[in-house]
C-alpha cells in the first residue's frame, strides 16, 4: 500500500542494537503510511546535513479550542509532499497513564486512518502525542476522538495537561490520591486548558510523595507533592529483619538521613520525628519496616520551569501542608487568586515562577492573601535591604504607625 | 461552534483502565519488592500481590507496536497496561506465572525488561529532527545510540543508585534536562542569521528586540527593509528570538552540537533536588551514532558507578568529593565556559577554602 | 613635602615586639591545650611552654588603661602583650607561676579572663554615637549591655562551640557582622530627609541619584533650588545616598533601631563560611541598656546552647534543624521582612519538600 | 586639670556590670582630657535623644598622605567646643598586634599630649585608632609617631592596613608565616596604602590556616589563607590517647568531617586524604594527634566585602595553592595585573569583588592572565547561556575556527 522506502543508510544503523529502535517504528508505520515514508527520507537528510527541516508552525487547531495542536510544516514540501503538513495533536492521557487495550486500539484506529501512524507514548508533559497529520484532518480526528471519550491536551498559554504518578493505584507511599486529584483538577480547569488566556503556560504535576516520580518540582508551575505531618510508621520487627538479612542500618540508613535525626544502637532504630525532613530515604530503603505517617496531605509548591530566559527554576513552597480532599476549595481559591494576579500583572511569556521573583515573594503573598511562613524560604534574607512600608512620624510619640 | 458540539469533556476517567486487583487494593498497598530486573511485586494490606513488568520503549511508537503491546496485555493481564513517567511500558499482572512468558514475548518484540531500582531507566527526551523547528540536534537518534551502549545498566541493577538521563534538543529544554543525573542538551553556537528579506513581514520588530535577554538585537534598516541587527558578541545562543520570530534561525550544521550536564536530581530523597551542571561544553553532532556523546556518557556513568557510595546519586557523589576532583577524575578539561557568567554567577564562585589537592 | 620628611616607613617590625620565647620557638609550636578559662599553653617542638592569658577589653581604651596593661606586662612577662583580632588583650607568659597572680590583677582592674574555646568572645564592634556620622544605634553601649548579660559565657566554657557576636551601627557593616553567629545591626527605617536648602552646595546631583541602588532618587527643583526627591516607597534605607551626600540624612530617633541576625560563620571548620541571616527585623533603641536586645540575644544563645550538638555553630545547628523549626523554637514571628526580595531572592526560596512539622 | 564632669545618668548605668566599661574608660580619660569630658556630654545627649551628633567629615590629613585620618566634626560645636574637631588617626599596627610596653607607652604619651587620650585597640580593620583630635594637631602627631617608628594606616580608596593572625608566633597550625607576609606586603605597598588611587578600598588579610582567625574570607578584598597540599600528619598513639581519655572519635571527629573521608574502627583512625577538604575540624579537635601536612602554602581568594550596595560577598578562590615565600613574585605580579585592570575598568566605589561579578569571572581571569581551574567555582554553571566567542564559517569545512 505505501510507497517503497527511501534509502536510509544512516538511519538503518539505528535499527541495530539492544534498545528498542525508533527507526524500526517509523518503518513499521511506513508499511502503510506515506507520511512515515517521507519522514524517513527527511530524517535521513537531516542526519546527512546535520540540520532539521521543520519550519515554525502556524496557528492550527480545532473549533472552539485554542490549544492541543502544534502546527508544523517542512521546508522542502516539493521533496516530501506527504509531510508538507505534519501537525501533532496532544491528546489528554488518562491519569497515571493506565490503559485498557480496547481504548488504546481505538486511538490507533483513528490515527491509522487520519495521521502518520506514529505517536509518542507519551510527550514530556504527559499527553498522548499523535505525531503528524494534515490541517484538514484535525476536525475529523477530534470528532472521532470525542466518540471514544478522548479530549485534547493543552498547548500555548494555557493550563497544560496535568499529569500524576500512579500513586494509590500501585504505590504504598502515596500520601494523597494523585490520580483522582489529577483528574479532578483537569476537569475543573477544562476551560483554562483549552482556551489560552494566560500570560504563558501553566503546568500542574501531582506526585504522591517526596520521591516525586513525575518530576513535579522541576517541571510544573504548580507542584503538588504528597507528604505527612505526623511520625513515620515503624514496624520494629521488620527493622530487625532487615538488619538480620544483612542491611547495614547505620551506613545505609542512618548516615544518609539528611536531618541526622535517626539513631541505631545495633538493636533499635529511633527516629526523632520532629526533626525528620520527610525526604523518604529511610522509607525507600526499608519499605517493609517504615511507612509515611498517617496524617497525610501534600506540600504545594510554585514556579518551576526550564531556563528560557531568566534561568531554570525549581518550584518553591507555597503551602507547607494541606489536606488533599475534594473539592480542594482552599487550594483552588488560591489558584484563582494567583491566576487573577498573574493575568493582570504578569508580562507576556512570563511564567508564574519568574513573575514571583520579579514582584517579590512577600508582595506576591500579600496580593494572593497567603500569610508568609518560614517554610517558604530556604533561609531568611542575608542582605539588610528591607522595604519597610511605614514609619513613625514626629508627633506620633512612637505610639502609632502611620502610612506614609 | 454548534451547540451540540461536545467539548471540554476531558480525558476518560482513569477507573475505566484499572485492573480489578488495583481497584480492589487502591490505596491499600503495603510494601513492594523488586524480584528481579524489571519485575516488582506490590503487596496489599489485603494480601493481594500485584506484579509489574517494566519494558523499555522507544517512546516514538507506531500504532503497530501499540497494538502489539495490547496483544500482550490481553494475553497476560486482562488487557491492562500502563506507561511510566519516563515512557517505559508496564504490564500489571495478578498471576506470577505469567511473568516469564511475558518477558520472553517482550524480548522477542525487541523490548528488554529492566529499569527498576539501581539502574538506568529510559531517557526522557524530545522531538529533535523528527518534528521540531528549534532542534540543535536529534533526540531519538542520540537516545538510541546512548541506550544501546548502556543497555546492561538498564537490564541489570548493578549501579550505586538510580541514574536518570534526559535529552533536550534545544535550550527550551522540553526534556527538562535541568535536573538530571546526566543531561544531553542540544546547543547552537552561531548567532541568528537574520532573514532581512522577510523579517518585517513575519515578525514585530519591537517584540524581536525585546525577546533578547542580553539586548543583542536592535532595529536596523537593511537593504532598504526594516529589520534587526544582532550584536554577535552579545549573543549566547538562547534562541529566544527565534521562538518569537522565524526569521532569526540559529540552526547551523557546523556549529550545532551537544553539551553534557551532570549532577541534577529531582527526588527529595536524601539531598534536596538539584540542577544539572555543565560538564562538557561541546560535542559535535555526529549522526547516526554520536560516538563522542556515547563515549562521554559511558565514561561518566562508569566513573560514578566505580566511585559513588551506595544510594549516592551522581550529584550527591560529586558534592561529596567536590568539583575539582570530579574534573580531575573524569579528565574533562575545565574551561572558561564552565564558569557561570549569568545573573547569579557570583553565587557559584567557590567562597571557602574547602579544596582537595 | 620637604625632601627630608620621612614617609612610607610602615609599621615597626613585629620582631621588636616578640618575647624571647616566641622568637626562639617561632614556627615550632607543636600543640596547645586550654588549661582553664582564658588560659592556654602552647608547647613547642623544643619543649618550651608558652602561657597565654586572655582578658576581656572594652576596645575603647583610655591611655590610662593601656598603661595599666603595660604595667601588668612589665610585672609578669617582660613587658610583652598583644591584642587579638577580636580586641581582647593577651599576656604572653613563660612562667606558669605568674598565671594566677596576673589573673587576680586583671580582675582587680575590671578585666575578666576568658573567651577561649567554647565560649563567647568579645563583640567585634564599631563606633556608633561615639564617633560616626552614619550610626543608627550606639556601638559600645549595646556591646557593654549585652556582654554584661552574657558574662558567664565569656568566663566559662560551657557552650557547644564558639559563638561569635558582632555589632555594626549601620549597613556599612564596619563590624563585618555579615558572617557572625549573632549579629546586631543598626538600621534606619525612614527615608532620607533631603536638606533642599544645602544639597546643591554640598553634593553633585547626578552622583546622588546614581548612588541609589533602587533608583529611588531623582533630580528635582524644590523651592527654586536644584535638589533631589526621594520616591519613598522605593527606599530600603541603605544610606548609600547619605554616604555620598551629607544632605540626605536618614538618622531618626523614632525609627532607628537594631536588627538581629543569626547563623553566620567565618571559619572553614566543618561547614563552609556562611552569611548571617535575619532573625529579628527590628528592636528599638532603648539606651542605656537596650533591654530588648540583651534579652533577645540571651534567648538565642540559650536556645542554641540547649539544642546544638557539640561543635555545632549557630548556623550549623539551624541548618540541621531547618529554619521553620528555628522560628518555632525561638518564638520569633516570621514576617514578610524575612523574605529576601533583593537581587538573588529567588535562590533563597525553599525549593524542596524537606520540611519539618 | 580637666573640667568637672557633666551629669551622665544614663552613661553611668554602663559603669555597672562585669564587662569592662567603655564609660569608665572615657571617665578615666576625662580626668585629664577636656575632649573626653565633652565626649561624655555629647554621648549622654545621644543616649537621651537616640541620635548621633556627628557630621560628615571633611578631607583632613597629613602632608604627602591621602589616607590615615578620618575627619569628624560635631553638629553642636557651641555646646561641645572641645570636640568641635574630633578626627581619628589610623596608626598601622605591628603585625599580629604584638607590643612591648615601651612602644605602647610612647603612643600613649603622644596621645595624651595631642589628642583625646582615647583609643580603640584596635579598629575593625586592625589599625590602632587614636580617637579624636584637632586638625592642627595632625602634623605634630605624625611627626612624633614617626620618631617612634609608627606610620599611618589606610583610609579612602587605597590599600587598607593589612592585618594577620598571630600565626607562627603562637600557633601550631600556621601554614605560612602570616606576620612576615603581612609585614612584607605592608612595606611593598606603602605607596598604594598612603595615596588613594583606586576605584575604592582594597583590603588584605592574612590567616595562617582555614580557621581564618582574622576573618579574612569575609572582610578582605584579598584573603590569604594558609593550607596544605599533602596529607594530614597523624600521631597514631596520640589518637589512641584521645580515645582512651574519653573522646568519642566517631561522633566528635568522624561524623563532623564535611568530606566524609574519615574512618574510625574503634582502634585506628584512617583519613582518605585525597578527599580531605582541609577544613581543620579534626585537627582542631585533636591538636596533639593531628597536624596540617608538610607541603604548606596558601589559598588566595578575592573579593569579600560588606553589603553596600550590591550585597555582601565572601572572597572566592583565585589561586588554590601557592607557596608563600619572599619575594612572593608570582602573587604580587598577579596583584599588579588585578589593580591595573580594576583601576582602568572599575567604576567609582566598585570593590574588586563587585567588579569581577560585573565583568564575569572568566573574562576577569583572561584579562589578568590566570587560567581557569575548577577550584574557583563551587560548581560549574547551571544555565546554558555560554558566550562562545568563535564559530565555524561555511568554507572552513569544520577544520578551522575563525574569529568572527
Ligand atoms: C512535545 C514536547 C516535547 C516532547 O517531545 O515530549 C514539547 C515540544 C515543544 N515545546 Fe516544550 N514540549 C514538551 C514539554 C515541555 C517540557 C516538559 C514538561 O512539560 O514536563 C518543558 C519544560 C518545563 C517547562 O514547562 O518549563 C518544555 C519547555 C518548553 C519551552 C520553554 C518554556 C519556558 O518557560 O522556559 C518552550 C518555548 C516556548 O514555550 O516558547 C517550549 C516549546 C515547545 C515547542 C512548542 C516549540 C516552540 O518553540 O514553539 C515544541 C514543539 C515541538 C514539536 O514540533 O513537536 N517547550 N516543554 C513536550 C510536550 C508533550 C506533551 O504535551 O506531553
Ligand atoms: C513508575 C514510576 C511512576 C509512574 O507513575 O510512572 C515510578 C515508580 C516507582 N518509583 Fe519512582 N517512578 C517513576 C519515576 C521517578 C522519577 C521521575 C523521573 O525519573 O523522571 C523520579 C525522580 C528522579 C530523580 O530524582 O531525578 C523517581 C524517584 C524515585 C525514588 C528516589 C530515588 C533516589 O534515591 O533519588 C524512589 C525511591 C527508590 O527507588 O528507592 C522511587 C521509587 C519508586 C517505586 C519503588 C515506588 C513504588 O513503591 O511503587 C516505584 C518503582 C521504582 C523503580 O522504578 O525502581 N522513585 N521515580 C516512574 C517510572 C519511570 C521509569 O520508567 O523509570
Ligand atoms: C587570638 C586569635 C588570633 C589572633 O591572631 O588574634 C585566635 C587564636 C586561636 N584560634 Fe581562632 N583566634 C582568633 C580569632 C578567630 C576568628 C575571628 C573572629 O572571631 O572574628 C575565628 C573565625 C570565627 C568564625 O568562624 O566566625 C576563629 C576561628 C577559630 C577556630 C574555628 C572554630 C569553629 O569551630 O568554627 C578555631 C579552632 C578551634 O577553636 O577549635 C580556632 C583556634 C584558635 C587557636 C586554638 C589556635 C591556636 O592553636 O593558637 C587559638 C586560640 C583559640 C581560642 O580562642 O579558643 N580559631 N578564631 C583570635 C582571638 C580572638 C578573640 O579574642 O576571641
Ligand atoms: C573605624 C572603623 C570601625 C571601627 O570602629 O573599628 C570604620 C569606620 C568607618 N567606616 Fe568602615 N570602618 C572600619 C572597618 C570596616 C570594615 C571591617 C574590616 O575592615 O575588616 C568593613 C567591612 C569590610 C569591607 O571592607 O567591606 C567596613 C566597611 C565600610 C563601608 C562599606 C564598604 C563596602 O564596600 O561595602 C563603608 C562605606 C564607605 O566606604 O563609604 C565604610 C565607612 C566607614 C566610615 C569611614 C564612615 C563613612 O561612611 O565614611 C567610618 C568612619 C567612622 C568614624 O567616624 O570613626 N566602612 N569598615 C573600622 C576601621 C578601623 C581600622 O582602620 O582599623
Ligand atoms: S511519587 Fe511517591 S507515591 Fe508516587 S509513585 Fe513515586 S514513590 Fe509512589
Ligand atoms: S524520611 Fe529522611 S529525613 Fe526523615 S528520618 Fe527518614 S531519612 Fe531522615
Ligand atoms: S527541546 Fe527545543 S528542539 Fe526539542 S522539542 Fe523542545 S522546543 Fe523543540
Ligand atoms: S539567540 Fe538569544 S542571545 Fe542571541 S540574539 Fe537571539 S535572543 Fe539574543
Ligand atoms: S558601621 Fe556605619 S555607623 Fe558604624 S562606624 Fe561603620 S560607617 Fe559608621
Ligand atoms: S537610603 Fe538607599 S535606597 Fe534609600 S534613597 Fe538613599 S540610596 Fe536610595
Ligand atoms: S588562622 Fe590558623 S594559624 Fe592563624 S591563629 Fe588561627 S588557627 Fe592559628
Ligand atoms: S580536615 Fe576536615 S575535611 Fe579534612 S579530614 Fe579533617 S575533618 Fe575531614
Rounded distance between C-alpha atoms, residue C276 and residue D215, angstroms: 14
Residue nearest atom 6 in ligand 3 by C-alpha distance = C84
Q: Tell me, letter by letter, the H, E, C secondary structure of chain A.
A: CCCCCCCCHHHHHCCCCCCCCHHHHHHHHHCCCHHHHHHHHHHHHHHHHCCCCEECCCCCCCCCCCCCEECCEECCCCCCHHHCECEEEEECCCHHHEEEHHHHHHHHHHHHHHCCCEEEECCCCCCEEEEEECHHHHHHHHHHHHHCCCCECCCCCCECCCEECCHHHCCCCCCCCHHHHHHHHHHHCHHHHHCCCCCCCECEEEECCCCCCCCHHHHCCEEEEEEECCCCEECHHHHHHHHHCCCCHHHHHHHHCCCCCEEECCCCEEECHHHCCCCCHHHHHCCCCEECCCCEEEEEEECCECCCCCCCECCEEEEEEECCCCCCHHHHHHHHHHHHHHHHHCCCCCCHHHHHHHHCHHHHHHHHCCCCCHHHECCCCCCCCCCCCEECCHHHCCCCCEEC
CATH 3.30.70.2500 assigned to domain A9-147? The reply is: yes
* CB distance C315 to C271 below 8 Å: yes
Chain B residues with CB under 8 Å of C272 CB are 351-352, 354
Mutate to test the pocket of ligand 9, among C132, C178, C187 (most ligand atoms within 8 A of CB): C132
Residue A123 reports pLDDT greater than 80: yes
Asked if the C-beta of D398 comes within 8 angstroms of chain B's C-beta atoms, the answer is: yes
Q: Which of D360, D384, D279, C81 is nearest to A306 (CA)?
A: D384
Q: What is the pLDDT of residue C3?
A: 54
How many Å lie between the centroid of ligand 9 and the Cα of residue C230?
Answer: 23
Residue D399 reports pLDDT greater than 80: no
Per residue in A249-298, pLDDT tens? Answer: 999 999 999 999 999 999 999 999 999 999 999 999 999 999 999 999 99
Q: What is the pLDDT of residue D4?
A: 86
Ligand 3 atom with the shortest distance to the CA of C85: 6
All three cell numbers of A135, joined, read 490541517
Rounded distance between C-alpha atoms, residue A256 and residue A245, angstroms: 19
CA C51 to chain centre: 27
Rounded distance between C-alpha atoms, residue D130 and residue D133, angstroms: 8
Give me the residue from C273, C347, C354 closest to B352, CB to CB.
C273
Ligand 6 atom with the shortest distance to the CA of A281: 7
How many Å lie between the centroid of ligand 6 and the Cα of residue C355?
Answer: 10
Asked if the C-beta of D314 comes within 8 angstroms of chain B's C-beta atoms, the answer is: yes
Asked if the C-beta of A13 comes within 8 angstroms of chain B's C-beta atoms, the answer is: yes
Ligand 3 atom with the shortest distance to the CA of D165: 5
Interface contact flag, D361 B345, Cβ < 8 Å: yes
Q: What is the pLDDT of residue A404?
A: 40
Give me the residue from D227, D301, D372 closest to B336, CB to CB.
D372
Interface contact flag, D316 B349, Cβ < 8 Å: yes
Distance from CA of A28 to the nearest CA of B (A): 7
How many Å lie between the centroid of ligand 12 and the Cα of residue C116?
Answer: 22
Residue nearest atom 2 in ligand 11 by C-alpha distance = D209
Mutate to test the pocket of ligand 7, among B127, B238, B243 (most ligand atoms within 8 A of CB): B127
Mutate to test the pocket of ligand 1, among A88, A120, A125 (most ligand atoms within 8 A of CB): A125
Say which CATH topology domain D163-228+296-376 has. Answer: Sulfite Reductase Hemoprotein; domain 1 (3.30.413)
Rounded distance between C-alpha atoms, residue D339 and residue D369, angstroms: 13
Give me the residue from A25, A131, A149 closest to B131, CB to CB.
A131
- Say how many residues make up chain D: 404
Chain C residues with CB under 8 Å of D218 CB are 176, 178-179, 266, 273
Torsion of CA B21, B24, B29, B30, to 10 degrees: -100
Q: What is the pLDDT of residue A59?
A: 86
Say which CATH topology domain D233-291 has. Answer: Alpha-Beta Plaits (3.30.70)
Q: What is the pLDDT of residue A390?
A: 87
Give me the residue from B18, B85, B128 closest to A98, CB to CB.
B18
Residue D403 reports pLDDT greater than 50: no
* CB distance B9 to A146 below 8 Å: yes
Distance from CA of A307 to the nearest CA of D (A): 7
Question: Strand, helix or coil at A326?
Answer: coil
Ligand 6 atom with the shortest distance to the CA of A258: 3
Per residue in C224-252, pLDDT tens? Answer: 999 999 999 999 999 999 999 999 999 99
Nearest chain C residue to D103, by CA: C17
Residue nearest atom 51 in ligand 3 by C-alpha distance = C116
Give me the residue from B13, B63, B140 closest to A111, CB to CB.
B63
- Mean pLDDT (chain D) is 95
Q: What is the pLDDT of residue C84?
A: 98
Residue nearest atom 56 in ligand 1 by C-alpha distance = B174
Q: Give me the total of CB pairs closer than 8 Å, taking one residue from chain B and one from chain C.
A: 20
Full pLDDT tens readout for chain C, 357 residues: 445 789 999 999 999 999 999 999 999 999 999 999 999 999 999 999 999 999 999 999 999 999 999 999 999 999 999 999 999 999 999 999 999 999 999 999 999 999 999 999 999 999 999 999 999 999 999 999 999 999 999 999 999 999 999 999 999 999 889 999 999 999 999 999 999 999 999 999 999 999 999 999 999 999 999 999 999 999 999 999 999 999 999 999 999 999 999 999 999 999 999 999 999 999 999 999 999 999 999 999 999 999 999 999 999 999 999 999 999 999 999 999 999 999 999 999 999 999 999
Residue A397 reports pLDDT greater than 70: no
Residue A3 reports pLDDT greater than 80: no
Residues of chain B with pLDDT under 50: 1-2
Map out the domains of chain D as residue ranges: 9-147, 163-228+296-376, 233-291
Per residue in A201-250, pLDDT tens? Answer: 999 999 999 999 999 999 999 999 999 999 999 999 999 999 999 999 99
Chain C residues with CB under 8 Å of A357 CB are 345-346
Helix (H) or strand (E) holding C30: strand C29-36
Q: Which of B265, B275, B352 to mutate to test the interface with C (most CBs of C within 10 A)?
A: B352
Cβ–ligand 5 contact at A33 (below 6 Å): no
Is it true that D163-228+296-376 and D233-291 share their CATH fold?
A: no
Per residue in D324-362, pLDDT tens? Answer: 999 999 999 999 999 999 999 999 999 999 999 999 999
Residue A402 reports pLDDT greater than 80: no
Cβ–ligand 5 contact at A207 (below 6 Å): yes
* CB distance A387 to A400 below 8 Å: no
Per residue in D169-198, pLDDT tens? Answer: 999 999 999 999 999 999 999 999 999 999
Per residue in B261-311, pLDDT tens? Answer: 999 999 999 999 999 999 999 999 999 999 999 999 999 999 999 999 999
Average pLDDT of span A287-311? 97
Chain A segment 144-183 residues within 8 A of C by beta carbon are none
Cβ–ligand 12 contact at D374 (below 6 Å): no
Residue D116 reports pLDDT greater than 70: yes
Q: What is the pLDDT of residue B1?
A: 44
Residue D404 reports pLDDT greater than 50: no
Amino acid at each position: 500500500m505505501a510507497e517503497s522506502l527511501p534509502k536510509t543508510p544512516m538511519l538503518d544503523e539505528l535499527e541495530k542494537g539492544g534498545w528498542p529502535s525508533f527507526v524500526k517504528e517509523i518503518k513499521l508505520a511506513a508499511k502503510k503510511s506515506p507520511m512515515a515514508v517521507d519522514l524517513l527520507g527527511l530524517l535521513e537528510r537531516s542526519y546527512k546535513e546535520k540540520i532539521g527541516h521543520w519550519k515554525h508552525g502556524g496557528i492550527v487547531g480545532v473549533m472552539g479550542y485554542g490549544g492541543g495542536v502544534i502546527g508544523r510544516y517542512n521546508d522542502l514540501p516539493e521533496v516530501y509532499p506527504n509531510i508538507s503538513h505534519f501537525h501533532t495533536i496532544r491528546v489528554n492521557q488518562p491519569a497515571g497513564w493506565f490503559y485498557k487495550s480496547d481504548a488504546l486500539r481505538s486511538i490507533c484506529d483513528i490515527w491509522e486512518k487520519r495521521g502518520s501512524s506514529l505517536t509518542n507514548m507519551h510527550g514530556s508533559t504527559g499527553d498522548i502525542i499523535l505525531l503528524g497529520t494534515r490541517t484538514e484532518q484535525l476536525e475529523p480526528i477530534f470528532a472521532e476522538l470525542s466518540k471514544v471519550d478522548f479530549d485534547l491536551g493543552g498547548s500555548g498559554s494555557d493550563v497544560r495537561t496535568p499529569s500524576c504518578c500512579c500513586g494509590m493505584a500501585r504505590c504504598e507511599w502515596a500520601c494523597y490520591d494523585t490520580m483522582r486529584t489529577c483528574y479532578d483538577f483537569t476537569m475543573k480547569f477544562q476551560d483554562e486548558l483549552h482556551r489560552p488566556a494566560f500570560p504563558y503556560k501553566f503546568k500542574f504535576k501531582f506526585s504522591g510523595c517526596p520521591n516525586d516520580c513525575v518530576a513535579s518540582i522541576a517541571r510544573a508551575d504548580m507542584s503538588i507533592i504528597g507528604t505527612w505531618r505526623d511520625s513515620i510508621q515503624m514496624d520494629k520487627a521488620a527493622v530487625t529483619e532487615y538488619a538480620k538479612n544483612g542491611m547495614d542500618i547505620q551506613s545505609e540508613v542512618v548516615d544518609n538521613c539528611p536531618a541526622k535525626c535517626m539513631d541505631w544502637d545495633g538493636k533499635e532504630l529511633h527516629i526523632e520525628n520532629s526533626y525528620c525532613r520527610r525526604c523518604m530515604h529511610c522509607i525507600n530503603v526499608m519499605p517493609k519496616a517504615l511507612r509515611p505517617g498517617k496524617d497525610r496531605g501534600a506540600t504545594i509548591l510554585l514556579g518551576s520551569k526550564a531556563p528560557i530566559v531568566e534561568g531554570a527554576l525549581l518550584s518553591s513552597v507555597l503551602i507547607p501542608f494541606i489536606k488533599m480532599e475534594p473539592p480542594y476549595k482552599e487550594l483552588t481559591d488560591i489558584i484563582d487568586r494567583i491566576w487573577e494576579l498573574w493575568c493582570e500583572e504578569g508580562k507576556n511569556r512570563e511564567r508564574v515562577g519568574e513573575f514571583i521573583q520579579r514582584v517579590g515573594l512577600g508582595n506576591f503573598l500579600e496580593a494572593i492573601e497567603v500569610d508568609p511562613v518560614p517554610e517558604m524560604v530556604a533561609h531568611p534574607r542575608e542582605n539588610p535591604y528591607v522595604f519597610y512600608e511605614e514609619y513613625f512620624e514626629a508627633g506620633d510619640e512612637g505610639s502609632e504607625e502611620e502610612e506614609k | 461552534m454548534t451547540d451540540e458540539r461536545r467539548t471540554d469533556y476531558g480525558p476518560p476517567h482513569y477507573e475505566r483502565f484499572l485492573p480489578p486487583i488495583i481497584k480492589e487494593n487502591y490505596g491499600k498497598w503495603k510494601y513492594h519488592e523488586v524480584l528481579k530486573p524489571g519485575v516488582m511485586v506490590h503487596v496489599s494490606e489485603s494480601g493481594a500481590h500485584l506484579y509489574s513488568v517494566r519494558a523499555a520503549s522507544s517512546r516514538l511508537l507506531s500504532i503497530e507496536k501499540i497494538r502489539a503491546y495490547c496483544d500482550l496485555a490481553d494475553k497476560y493481564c486482562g488487557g491492562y497496561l500502563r506507561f511510566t513517567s519516563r515512557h517505559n511500558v508496564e504490564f500489571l499482572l495478578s498471576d506470577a506465572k505469567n511473568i516469564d512468558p511475558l518477558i520472553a514475548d517482550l524480548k522477542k518484540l525487541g523490548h528488554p525488561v529492566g529499569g527498576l531500582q539501581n539502574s538506568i531507566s529510559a531517557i526522557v527526551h524530545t522531538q529533535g529532527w523528527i518534528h521540531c523547528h528549534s532542534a540543535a540536534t536529534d533526540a531519538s537518534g542520540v537516545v538510541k545510540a546512548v541506550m544501546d551502549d548502556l543497555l546492561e545498566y538498564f537490564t541489570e541493577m548493578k549501579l550505586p543508585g538510580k541514574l536518570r538521563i534526559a535529552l533536550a534538543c534545544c535550550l527550551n529544554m522540553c526534556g527538562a534536562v535541568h535536573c538530571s543525573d546526566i543531561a544531553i542538551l542540544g546547543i547552537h553556537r552561531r548567532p541568528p542569521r537574520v532573514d532581512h528579506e522577510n523579517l518585517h513581514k513575519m515578525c514585530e520588530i519591537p517584540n524581536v528586540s525585546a525577546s533578547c535577554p542580553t539586548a543583542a538585537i536592535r532595529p536596523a534598516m537593511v537593504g532598504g527593509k526594516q529589520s534587526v541587527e544582532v550584536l554577535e558578541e552579545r549573543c549566547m545562543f538562547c534562541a529566544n528570538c527565534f521562538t518569537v520570530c522565524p526569521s532569526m534561525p540559529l540552526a547551523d550544521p557546523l556549529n550545532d552540537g551537544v553539551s553534557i550536564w551532570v549532577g541534577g536530581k529531582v527526588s527529595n530523597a536524601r539531598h534536596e533536588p538539584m540542577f544539572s551542571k555543565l560538564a562538557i561544553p561541546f560535542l559535535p553532532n555526529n549522526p547516526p551514532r554520536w560516538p563522542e556523546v556515547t563515549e562521554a556518557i559511558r565514561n561518566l556513568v562508569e566513573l560514578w558507578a566505580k566511585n559513588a557510595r551506595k544510594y549516592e546519586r551522581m550529584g550527591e557523589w560529586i558534592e561529596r568529593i567536590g568539583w575539582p576532583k570530579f574534573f580531575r577524575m573524569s579528565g574533562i578539561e575545565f574551561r572558561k565556559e564552565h564558569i557561570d557568567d549569568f545573573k547569579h554567577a557570583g553565587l557559584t564562585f567557590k567562597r571557602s577554602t574547602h579544596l582537595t589537592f
